[in-house]
Amino acid sequence: MFDFDNALIVRLLDLAGIGVFALSGALMAVRLRQTLVTASFFALLTGVGGGSVRDLLIGAPVFWVQDEAISVVCIAIALIVWSTPERWWQGRLLEWADAVGLAAYSVFGTAKAMAWGVPPMPALLMGVITGCVGGIIRDVLAGVPSIIVRPEIYVTAAALASGLFLLLLWFGVGTPVAAVIGAVAGFILRGAAIRWSLALPAYRDPKTGG
């Protein structure tokens, strides 16, 4: 039986996912030259968006409504990003922060869904939703093309993290080890996509070839 409440590593993955997604949301707002209020809004919605949708779908209390520290952390991250020199956040930090959040949060989402009695396959999908929806919300708010509609590997990395976590649990691997391996595998795949612009093949009409 999966012991969600006593799995410290799963809780750490939750906090890591929230923190780095909040960071990516704040970074997006700063790059768009937005106010502190907007940066805080981006950080909060990006940090808790996927988990909120997951909790609503599985019938759990929405997590950040029950834990006021989460919103405080998201807003604090936004304040740090907004009040520091832009050169600290240049490069591809947003993408790498998003990759960490994607991998960690996907595993956590699957673990929480299982703890609420969700069967393995829907639990895997809950992990994907947890890992992906926050970034999608961020991109929509920013008015940039969402990663979900680009062929670049993203959802696949979330599915790998969640699926490998479930597979290892099925083989009897302990929760901490399964969680770490699943998250690392998802991060490596997403990191490879960032580094080498890996993408899945787009649809081509067999009749026209286009």
Q: What is the mean pLDDT of the chain?
A: 91
**Structure confidence at residue 210 (pLDDT):** 59
The 3-state secondary structure of 140-151 reads HHHCCCCHHHCC
Neighbours of 180 (CB within 10 A): 18
Between 13 and 97, the more confident residue is 97
CA distances from 58 to 33, 78, 119, 151 (A): 37, 29, 11, 29
Rounded to 5 degrees, what are φ and ψ at 152? -55, 140
Average pLDDT over residues 151-176: 94
The fraction of the chain above a pLDDT of 70, given in percent, is: 96
- Position 8 confidence tier, pLDDT thresholds 50, 70, 90: confident
Q: Is 159 helix (H, G, I), strand (E, B) or coil?
A: helix
Average pLDDT over residues 134-159: 91
- Position 1 confidence tier, pLDDT thresholds 50, 70, 90: very low
Distance separating alpha carbons of residues 22 and 44, to the nearest angstrom = 6
